Amino acid sequence: MGRLRVLPLAVAIALACLLAGPAGSRTPRLTIYAASSLTDAFHALDSSQRYGFAGSNTLETQIRNGAPADLFAAAAPLNTQRLFRQGLVQEPVTFTSNRLVLIVPRSNPADVHSVYDLRRKPVKLVVAGAAVPVGSYTRTVLRKLRLSSVLPKVVSQETDVRAVTGKVALGQADAGFVYLTDAKAVSDRVTVIRIPARAQPRVRYEIAVVSSSSKEAAAQAWIRALLSPRGQAALKEYGFLPFRASA
């Protein structure tokens, strides 16, 4: 879906060395559960790990039910913090942030040019479910802009942000709320409409080691690599924001 992005060679090589550890060491392969919006960035960061991508709420449930993950990277603190309070993950850390945008197909059949056009025009809107972080953020945006009245125009509620992005990119919906990073991945097929700054939610990603993991040292090392300047530079290549910045 969309063009593949390639990290600058110097960043990719440096990050690979950082994640590999000392020469001759054998770093165990990790199972990393991560929000679907991180799919492209995490694969580019470190393709050697085993990933499970989905909505953060789905992954939270799977970990609670005993799924054998080593790390959990969520698109909202709510998911990691609930597991932390239950002792199912170690203390989470924030590692990046994002922004919400409205996207429309390039052809723009509903003639949507502003978020306020959602109220004025008959549109087929697609959003993520309320339990999914991007779905919760979407409802925050609509509430702040006094646009909650457009929710009856929603034709489908998706399980993750990639599904929302795909439906709009394929022209199966007139508009959808997604992360800026997901919009960038399909920039040849969608047009981005910015959301007023006053309505932007604070989109914050957290990562935590799963308490039942038998690879704690390797998992902690992976987090350190993610938080390092090289790891942050790699995330930036995919449109993510510095983890200390407010979205």
pLDDT tens-digit series, residues 40-74: 999 999 999 999 999 999 999 999 999 999 999 99
Same domain, 13 and 47: yes
Asked whether residue 210 carries a pLDDT value surpassing 70, the answer given is yes
Asked whether residue 11 carries a pLDDT value surpassing 90, the answer given is no
Q: What is the pLDDT of residue 10?
A: 52
Residue 47, domain member (yes or no): yes
Same domain, 177 and 207: no
Same domain, 142 and 62: no
| Mean pLDDT along residues 174-192 | 97
Confidence of residue 246 (pLDDT cuts 50, 70, 90): very low
| Mean pLDDT along residues 176-197 | 96
Residue 76, domain member (yes or no): yes
Residue 4, domain member (yes or no): no
Residue 29, domain member (yes or no): yes
Asked whether residue 24 carries a pLDDT value surpassing 50, the answer given is no
Same domain, 168 and 217: no
Residue 84, domain member (yes or no): yes
Same domain, 131 and 79: no
Same domain, 157 and 189: yes
Confidence of residue 27 (pLDDT cuts 50, 70, 90): confident
Domain span at residue 86? 9-97+203-237
State the CATH number of the domain containing residue 120: 3.40.190.10
Span 67-124, pLDDT tens digits: 999 999 999 999 999 999 999 999 999 999 999 999 999 999 999 999 999 999 999 9
Asked whether residue 237 carries a pLDDT value surpassing 80, the answer given is yes
Same domain, 117 and 180: yes
Q: What gap in Å lies between CA 175 and CA 25, rounded to an integer?
A: 49
Same domain, 149 and 171: yes
Instruction: Please name every residue paired with 100 in a beta bridge, in sequence order, or none if there are none.
Output: 179
Residue 1, domain member (yes or no): no
Tokens in use for 35?
């929000």
Q: What is the pLDDT of residue 19?
A: 57
Residue 185, domain member (yes or no): yes
Residue 213, domain member (yes or no): yes
DSSP 82-101: HHHHTTSB---EEEEEE-EE
Tokens in use for 46?
């470190």
Same domain, 186 and 214: no
pTM reported for the whole predicted model = 0.86
Span 130-173, pLDDT tens digits: 999 999 999 999 999 999 999 999 999 999 999 999 999 999 99
Same domain, 109 and 92: no
Angle subtended at Cα 41 by Cα 39 and Cα 47, rounded to the nearest 5 degrees:
80
**In a 3-state reduction of DSSP, which class is residue 144?**
helix
The domain tally of the chain equals: 2
Same domain, 188 and 115: yes
Same domain, 130 and 207: no
Confidence of residue 242 (pLDDT cuts 50, 70, 90): confident
Tokens in use for 99?
């922004």
